[in-house]
Copies of this chain bind each other. A is one copy, B any other.
Amino acid sequence: MAGKRVLIVYAHQDPHSFNAAAKEVAVEALTSQGFIVEVSDLYAMNFKATATAEDITGELAADMPFHYAEETKLAWQQGKLSADITEEQRKLTEAELVIFQFPIYWFSAPAILKGWFDRVLTEGFAFTPEKRYSQGIFQDKKAILSFTTGSQESMFGINGINGDVYVAIWPIQYGTLHYCGFQVLAPQISWDPAHTSQEARGNMLEAWRKRLHGLMEEKPLFFPSMDSFDKELGFQLRTELHEQEASKGSTVDKHLEKVPRASQFKSGV
């Protein structure tokens, strides 16, 4: 692994938290394997979460209502993105693995991490109309979500009141990371550390440490190839791929059927 780079995007306020410990476990386990590890500590950096015109240096390009995606696409082309975005893009470009370490807030990423997605993954840099999903720009990179929950595991199970945790993280795993081409590894989920014993927290960290030693050899989650969708039909599933029940469920159901269930990735993996 010598010289290979990892980026950890870390979003917790407190260096004494479980999330901080999980981040430290990753830094140690990966450094010991010869990786060069960079950490973006979003709260410590006071990372700007909101998508505003200040993200573009100099004049705005378009003579039209401000359209963040359009303006940042042009700014990226012209090297006019703000320095903090450019620096995150540099880290991301160099990394072969990106770990996102965060607590789930409202079935999703905390706003400061959502802001990292909104601001760093600009068109041109992270995707183009042609380069998305299985043909995406970052298809040689791996990404993994490592997060804590405030709910017990049963609530996020397939029969749980919160619904399957894989659906909660679908917008990030599929709609953000795989959209940009990333090979997405199964998430590392640390269940409800705030309401569990010191010993259970230790076990969760040890499971993570163990997993990190084989992480780069893991098979990524399966998502259908972009070829399965017909551009001429507005990127709908090709007719010849429809199964009999296709009209009953959503594409997401089909995607999710192929995704390993959380229960296959309990501690010890």
Contact = CB atoms under 8 A, between A and B. Distances in A.
A89 interface: no
Contacts of A253: 249, 253, 256
Given A66-B17, A155-B235, A175-B162, A111 B106 contact: no
A242 B106 CA distance: 27
Contact of A164 (B16, B43, B107, B251): B251
Tier of interface size on chain A: 35 or more
Interface in A214-269: 226, 229, 233-237, 242, 246-247, 249-253, 255-256
| A153, A171, A242, most chain B CB atoms within 10 A | A171
Interface of A: 13-14, 16-18, 20, 43, 47, 49-53, 65-70, 105-112, 114-115, 117-119, 121, 133, 150, 152-155, 157-164, 166-168, 170-172, 174-176, 179, 194, 226, 229, 233-237, 242, 246-247, 249-253, 255-256
